[in-house]
Amino acid sequence: MPSQIVSLVVNGEPREFIAAPGMTLLAGLRESLGLTAAKRGCGQGTCGSCTVLVEGQARAACLVAVETVAGLSVSTLEGVATGGELDAVQSSFVDNFATQCGFCTAGMIMVTEALLDRDPDPSEEDVAEAISGNVCRCTGYQPIVIAILDAARRRREERASR
């Protein structure tokens, strides 16, 4: 199969690049578009460090063949902040010390964005379930769970004040 031009909407912007046969979405984002927030950990769909959103759904980008998402909308950590301002999830991760080495953080934040988009008031069990596919070797998870619950509260307050 020859290389092909793939068009996606990434963080709201139309993007196009040449994809070699078998290229993953993760490789396309990192190597062709220079969006390196999503990380390659296991490369097998089991660590969550490469998580991005495709049409709002959390997906392991290392398992997605890039041609299968042609024309779709992809969101990465690079598109989360607005005008240099961290969003509620990002600032909550910082304030609650939910990141140490940072390797898992982009994936954790994207999984959280998807969770809070579908459930603005998740329980601790909902949070644990949402991040169950994301491995963190540093934090012991509890600061991440606390940060996600705090982010949910911040988002609800932001919305209520509009």
Can you read off the two tokens belonging to residue 21? Answer: 């046969």
> Counting contacts by CB under 6 A, is residue 118 touching ligand FES?
no
List the interface residues with ligand FES, window 142-161 (CB under 6 A): none
Residue with smaller CB distance to ligand FES, 120 or 140: 140
Q: Which of 29, 8, 33, 25 is CA-nearest to residue 63?
A: 25
Minimum distance from residue 6 beta carbon to ligand FES (Å): 19
Kindly write out the interface string for residues 36-75 of this chain, putting x where it contacts ligand FES by CB under 6 A and - elsewhere: ----xxxx-xxxxxx---------x-x-------------
Please say whether the beta carbons of 69 and 25 come within 8 A: yes
Q: Could you write out the three-class secondary structure of 34-102?
A: CCCCCCCCCCCCCCCCCEEEECCEEEEHHHCEHHHHCCCEEECHHHCCECCECCHHHHHHHHCCCCCCC
Q: In this chain, which stretch among 65-73, 94-102, 115-123, 124-132 interacts with ligand FES, using CB under 6 A?
A: 94-102
Q: Which of 75, 106, 139, 146 binds ligand FES (CB under 6 A)?
A: 139
